Amino acid sequence: MHVCVTGGAGFIGGHLCRRLLRDGHRVTAIDNFDPFYPRVMKEEGIDDFPAHSFTLIETDICNTDAILHALHVRDVDAIVHLAAKAGVRPSVEAPGAYEKTNVGGTQSMLTVAQELGIDTFIYGSSSSVYGNKDKVPFAEDDRVEEPISPYAATKRPERSEEVLLGCAPASC
């Protein structure tokens, strides 16, 4: 199987790539090396991956055309979408940047999957979407209608742009 992992040089993405490679899969990772985490730290996490079964594409997940161009010849079977602009606190200062990357980037990757006929798409959300709930542990079917930050709103599996902008569909 050939798996594309967005955010593939990040902590979780890098570990997933390592596991997929160890299990005999081919992996194409996409990462833009956002400065939120030191680049050297991310590079060290993937520097020992075998070149014959691992490819790194350094680009932004919002760059649909570049990703389509890079993946159309790679015969990808699945996309695991983990890439996101990270940080709860910074999202309060720059909510538009989080909406652009986390919502727009997810839309971009869904477009890539659709245009390339990739039927398996796994989306990595965040526990931040649950907000300040008293009920622990969280459950996937819990309601997540009151995120506590723009980051949490952008990681909500559906309608994140409505929450981020503070409006319902009819009023947007």
Q: Which residues are catalytically annotated?
A: 151
Backbone angles phi, psi at 65, to 5 degrees: -60, -45
How far apart, in Å, are the Cα atoms of 91 and each of 33, 95, 96, 158?
18, 5, 8, 18
